[in-house]
Amino acid sequence: MRDFPVSPNRTLTQIIGLLASAALATGCADEAPAASSSQPGYTVCGDLSFNGATCQPGQYCEQPQFGTCSNGCLADSNCAANQVCDLGSGSPGTCVNTTATPTPTPTPTPTPTPTGDVARCEAACDALLTCGAVTNTELATCKTGCGLDASVAKLLADCVEAGADCNAKAQCLGDNPGGGGNASCKEVCDDAGFFDCEDAPALTPTEVATCNASCDTKSDAEQMAMENCWDAAFFNCTTAGARACFDGWL
């Protein structure tokens, strides 16, 4: 069978036809290619079975017919998951990191500033700390007591403000610091065993004796807290409520 020579021009025509077909199959170069289903930012450029390529995040398909990827982006699909395509300077654009909106820190509710006799009472507690009449731990108890009873807060503030020196100010706690007498503390113990709350005194005779003995060992701040508690409970006296003032004393 006779072989017919192939014209070089015919071969060139066939190649051009193949390239044109590939271009039509893959679309125009100016269009953003569809995103690959694998990972964000990876896009298919051209026909992978022919001469296509996979563009990396930060690249776009410039020439689908040749599988040519170039730096830049045409759409967000050309960028990584935490990036968007910025076309502000024209096409192609640049992949830029997205800025996460910070969660606003809630504004804490300010603690109300003590006023009046409560503020004066707390200042008196600070003065007692300066004088060495109370410890840092007892200071917290002293200030807590200021807010429990307004009348007691005023009494302590008036006394400390009038005290000429630290010894006089220390007496405002009701007893001599360090124990040895503690008259007002023991008076409360005696009252709790005498006055009826509901149908019986808050303390039994044996508990009154134990309470009095505790007055000689408890700190001034502990005595003040107990006395403040009793003063408040006495006006709305229930046996259980009054006895709660002596927790840890009996």
CB atoms closer than 10 angstroms to residue 78: 28
In sequence order, which residues have a C-beta less than 8 Å from that of residue 206 and are 6 or more positions away? none
The residue segments making up the domain with residue 203 are 175-250
CA atoms within 13 A on the CB side of 153: 19
Kindly state whether residues 192 and 147 are assigned to the same domain. Answer: no
Tens of pLDDT, residues 206-247: 999 999 888 888 887 788 888 888 877 777 777 777 888 888
Q: Is there a single domain that holds both residue 240 and residue 250?
A: yes
Please indicate, yes or no, if residue 80 is contained in any of the structural domains.
yes
User: 169 with 182, same domain?
Assistant: no
pLDDT of residue 30: 41
pLDDT number for residue 37:
45
Angle subtended at Cα 211 by Cα 197 and Cα 150, rounded to the nearest 5 degrees: 60
- Is residue 48, in this structure, part of any structural domain at all? yes
- Please indicate, yes or no, if residue 106 is contained in any of the structural domains: no
Two tokens, residue 17: 């036809």
Q: Is residue 180 part of a domain?
A: yes
pLDDT in tens, 85-121: 999 888 899 999 987 777 888 888 887 777 888 999 9
- State the Cα torsion 45-48-50-53 to the nearest 10°: 40
DSSP H or E stretch at residue 200: strand 200-201
Give the Cα-Cα-Cα angle 250, 154, 228 (nearest 5 degrees): 10
Are residues 211 and 157 part of one domain?
A: no
Beta bridge partners of 43: 35, 55
Q: pLDDT tens, 65-79?
A: 888 999 999 999 999
Tokens of 228: 């403040």
Residue 160 in 3-state DSSP?
helix
Residue 9: pLDDT over 50: no
At 216 the pLDDT is 82
Chain-centroid distance of CA 201 in Å reads 47
Let me know whether 141 and 184 are in one domain. Answer: no
In a shared domain, residues 167 and 235? no
Task: Indicate whether 179 and 250 sit together in one domain.
Answer: yes
Give the pLDDT confidence score for residue 18 in this predicted structure. 42
Q: Give the percent of the chain with pLDDT over 90.
A: 20
Confidence category of residue 60, pLDDT binned at 50, 70, 90: very high
3-state secondary structure of 96: strand
Confirm whether 10 is domain-assigned. Answer: no
Q: Does residue 136 fall inside a structural domain?
A: yes
Q: Does 157 share its domain with 182?
A: no
CA–CA separation, 170 vs 168, rounded Å?
A: 5
- Average pLDDT value over all residues in the chain: 77
140 and 81 in one domain? no
AA identity, residue 108: P
Whether 108 is in a domain gets the answer: no
Among positive and negative, which fits the CA dihedral 44, 46, 47, 52?
Answer: negative
Among residues 42, 70, 96, which one ends one of the domains? 96
DSSP state of 246: G
* Res 244: pLDDT: 85
The answer to whether residues 201 and 241 belong to one domain is yes
The verdict on residue 3 lying in a domain is no
Q: Are residues 152 and 163 in the same domain?
A: yes
- The last residue of one of the domains, among 146, 173, 200, is 173
Statement to judge: residues 208 and 239 lie in one domain: yes
pLDDT tens readout for residues 112-146:
777 888 999 999 999 989 988 888 888 888 888 88
- Of 126, 146, 173, which marks where a domain is finished? 173
Identify which has the larger pLDDT, 238 or 54: 54
pLDDT tier at 10 (50, 70, 90 boundaries)?
Answer: very low
DSSP string, 43-71: EEES-TTTT-EEEPTTEEEEETTTTEEEE
pLDDT confidence of residue 177:
38
* Structure-model confidence comparison of residues 159 and 179, the more confident one: 159
Share of the chain above pLDDT 70, in %: 81
Task: Check pLDDT > 70 for residue 11.
Answer: no
Number of domains in the chain: 3
Contacts of 122 by beta carbon, 8 Å cutoff, 6+ apart: 114, 143, 146
